[in-house]
Chain A
Amino acid sequence: MQTILDATSADQVVIVADHLRKNFPGPVVALDDCSLQVRRGEVMVVIGPSGSGKSTLLRCLNGLETVDSGRIVIDTVPLDDQETHRLAIRRRVGMVFQSFNLFPHLTVEGNINLAQRLVRGRSRTAALATTVSLLDKVGLADALHRYPDELSGGQQQRVAIARALAMHPKVMLFDEATSALDPEMIGEVLDVMRTLAAEGMTMVVVTHEMGFAREVGDRVVFMEQGRIVEQAATDDFFQRPAKERTRAFLGLVV
């Protein structure tokens, strides 16, 4: 499955994950020899049944969880024990969570400004300018002074996306970003993600939205029981799945 890259394409690879293994206490293997590469501007969609390790894989990519063995390199920075590398990677990788995780004690402005000021050291005015333009982009220009609990789920998730984007990440990770939303709000969040993909953002998207995967994904990874069963270009994956398990899964969900 793993492609051998020549020198020119190597610098286009933003995410390298090599033979990742992780065990949780108990009989279930969290990650079993997972390898993947994501190129600049690519949208990789990770699908699979619940408990298949999709989220764990994603969370390992920015060091929220540690792997037992294997190698992760993000934008030429290796993710290892060094705190500086860990921080450097987190500054390059934005993450959007299923449960939004906005800071409830801060306004939308405070939420988006915070890391810009603390991590990027931007001035208040510079941070605010970025915040305002990003809110405009996710369609929430009027929410600047609202608190998270005054917003709907879909609005909160769009603020969370803006908050991640404010750090100018090289990669965006989406961990089931629409799974906690009411059906009528899924669309507005997927629209924002679609726009990002069109602008060339490198994205890894864990999702149950097959329509979105088909439409936006460049490549699809199918996982089951901690293993990557199949990964392929989107058209191939949906029209000519190679593995029996993939066909069975697609038969169930599509």
Chain B
Amino acid sequence: MSTSRRVSIIRDLVLYVLTCIGLVWLVLRGAEQLGYQWHWRQVAHHLIVMGDGSLTAGPLIRGLLVTMEITLVSLVLAGGIGLTVALLRLSSSRLGRCAARVYLESIRNTPLLVQIFFFYFVVAPLFDIGRTTTAILALSLFEGAYVSEIIRAGIISIGRGQWEACYSLGLSRTQSYRAVILPQALRRILPPLTSQAVSLIKDSALVSTIAVYDVTMAGRTIVADTFLVFEVWFVVAALYLTLTLSLSALASRLERRFPRVA
């Protein structure tokens, strides 16, 4: 390693530490101005409950599991919806293109919160579906719209020559998509898809508004009971951060393992 490189790393490290110190100082100052008393030790038993010599998950961890469940299912569904809608928009069927367009524009141009309420108050009673299912439905339809645009962009970015090669070999449209176009498109859209999945995790906090007991809802309840405002929300934020960072790490590992694209 050259000297200049070492110097620049040290400089970056110093800057990083200084920034962190600055942020912590800001938070502490803010709390001090409010006359806030820190009670970090009380947070622990909201995460893990110790009783009778055994450990059980506290409300925050249970909420985290609900958040993970909702986002995981929504992620899979949003992927399916996104792919279907993208293929519809690129299909030769006028009706299919039109339906996909209506779906996309109505989802993309209204707030997620309103959609969640719409599903909870209008759709759910109609079909007698539970809160968690409603939450999953609303989230996957919302994220699916964005995913469809990402997938469509990926498909369009594959050159015409690839299609022509498929056709001239006698592959059908479906076969061409599956074996040639989508594998290449997927590699290209992995970065924006990851961002969208991260968004989904964060957007899932909104399901607490329909009383789904996710990590945000757990945090709200604890804050209402204990007034540990800062401590609890910091912990909740850290839990979200853990989820999103693990997802990003997973995605970048996947990216490296993927087959190449010209």
Contact = CB atoms under 8 A, between A and B. Distances in A.
A179 interface: no
Contact of B261 (A93, A104, A115, A167): A104
Interface in B174-188: 175, 179-180, 183-184, 187
A105 B170 contact: no
Contact of A114 (B179, B187, B259): B179
* Consensus secondary structure, chain B interface: helix
B209 interface: no
A90 B187 contact: no
Contacts of A114: 169, 171, 179-180
A105 B184 contact: yes
Interface stretch (B80-88, B158-166, B235-243): B158-166
B262 A149 contact: yes
B184 to A, nearest CB: 5
Contacts of B171: 114-115, 118-119
A212 interface: no
Nearest to A99: B161
A20 interface: no
A103 B260 CA distance: 10
A87 B170 contact: yes
A104 B175 CA distance: 17
Contacts of A101: 161-162, 164-165
Contact of A164 (B167, B168, B172, B180): B168
Nearest to A59: B164
Interface string A73-94: 0000000000000010011011
Contacts of A62: 167-168
A106 B162 CA distance: 12
Nearest to B258: A105
A103 B170 contact: no
- 5 closest pairs, A vs B, by CB? A115-B169, A104-B262, A101-B165, A95-B168, A91-B170
Interface of B: 161-162, 164-165, 167-172, 175, 179-180, 183-184, 187, 259-262
Given A97-B168, A115-B169, A167-B170, 7 more contacts: A63-B167, A90-B167, A101-B161, A102-B165, A103-B180, A105-B260, A114-B180
6 contacts: A64-B164, A87-B170, A93-B168, A97-B164, A106-B259, A115-B169
